[in-house]
Homo-oligomer: A and B are copies of this chain.
Amino acid sequence: MLIKNIDIIRADGTLVNGMNVAVKDGKFAYIGKEMPEGYWGEVLDGKGRVLIPGLINTHTHVPMTLMRGYGDDMPLDRWLFDRIFPFEDKLSAEDVYWGSMLGIAEMLASGTTSFSDMYYFCGSIAKAVIESGIKANIGRGVSCFDETKKFADLPAYSEMLELVKSYHKYDGGRVLIDAAPHSEYTTRPDILADIAEFAAANSLRVQVHLSETQKEHLECVGRHGKTPAKVMEDSGLFDFPVTAAHCVWLSDIDVEILAKHKVFVAHCPQSNLKLASGIARVGYMRQQGVSVTIGTDSAASNNNLDMFEEMRTASLLAKGVTLDPCALPANEIVYMATRAGALAQGRKDTGDIAEGYAADFVILNTNRISMTPSHNPLSNIVYSASGADVETTAVNGRILYHKGEFLTIDIERVLHEVRAHVKFLLDK
């Protein structure tokens, strides 16, 4: 594939005008002013377009699109116990498949090329990922409320074994399986330690929820005499590559722990606001050397999976809370949503527009109202654009979404199946 004469915004926010971009074997083979030699099966004209790295959503629960708008404006306990948990109790593998397809379609249409997920029925998620062509790190969430059970006794354990066998590194690593202890408050230190061992034995990365709410943070201190971050460090979990979602209530010492162990943070500002969890201290964490990435969390608490909105909210919130209009500028936000996310997922050759990197990219049409005038395309992308401005989304050089059409997903069928499955679940 050849993209001719396109402006590029790189992961660090640098703008380069009028480049020719060649894609071969799923990677960027050439990026420069010259016209590369060769025969190109597909040629895209980049005039009036801007090319950016595919966005990386480092924390979501994609099947929960089924619960979009199912419980809003409710106290957290009622939301969980009256809505989310009873609904989830009824879910089947097929429900999860269709919910995943809806969420993946939503992400592709809004410029996300890779996501990190924590849920169950992960085979269904993997199937949707494989069929759709998107990239994902999939983690089977592990919780345990039974004192008598060890990690190896849990159904999640055997499911994880099966997932690793069937899907880990599938399609050249497009699918990765992560270990995913749900959180401190839904597990125990020994289970965290066992999961860490499992991750080590299978060379897996780790996803976990960390200090999302004040209640969780304080109750942990009450229970263990130490913070959730310290419990995780002491269990050995942080000796492996970890992405910790939320991190709203970290103490200064917790932040030091995360920095020391190179734990990535998945900042989910819209979900944290909507569930009234609070506002993560992103500026402080970054100052202390923690790499912060961006996630949407699920459509049950967001309520969409548009990373453009999430980028904007992350930046605006940082400015508003610190009263510093220069906080989290557009170039840093783009880095967080692309390259930093790729590194959190353990995808070393992903998340930038550079030769040799995976050709995961997004093309935006700049001849749109939200992108006009074009004083600064980077500003327009972070502060004005929305997912609706995405014209093309490609993963490993394969176009998956183009001008409103999905190339790998029958979207009308997905919308129909989701409605039918939700109706069936509610009637159950």
Contact = CB atoms under 8 A, between A and B. Distances in A.
Given A74-B326, A76-B325, A303-B380, A375 B68 contact: yes
Copy tally for this chain in the complex stands at: 2
14 contacts: A67-B375, A68-B373, A70-B375, A70-B376, A72-B383, A74-B325, A79-B325, A102-B369, A272-B320, A274-B325, A303-B380, A304-B384, A309-B309, A313-B316
Interface in A86-133: 102, 105-106, 109
Interface stretch (A144-152, A161-169, A199-207, A415-423): A415-423
B73 A270 contact: no
Nearest to A248: B320
Given A73-B329, A75-B325, A272-B320, 8 more contacts: A68-B375, A69-B384, A70-B375, A73-B379, A270-B316, A304-B384, A306-B370, A386-B387
Given A75-B325, A369-B102, A372-B102, A273 B384 contact: no
Interface in A374-416: 374-377, 379-380, 382-384, 386-388, 411, 415
Given A70-B376, A370-B304, A273 B320 contact: yes
Contacts of A315: 274
Contact of A372 (B214, B384, B418): B418
Contacts of A367: 415
Contact of A72 (B69, B76, B376, B386): B376
B72 A279 contact: no
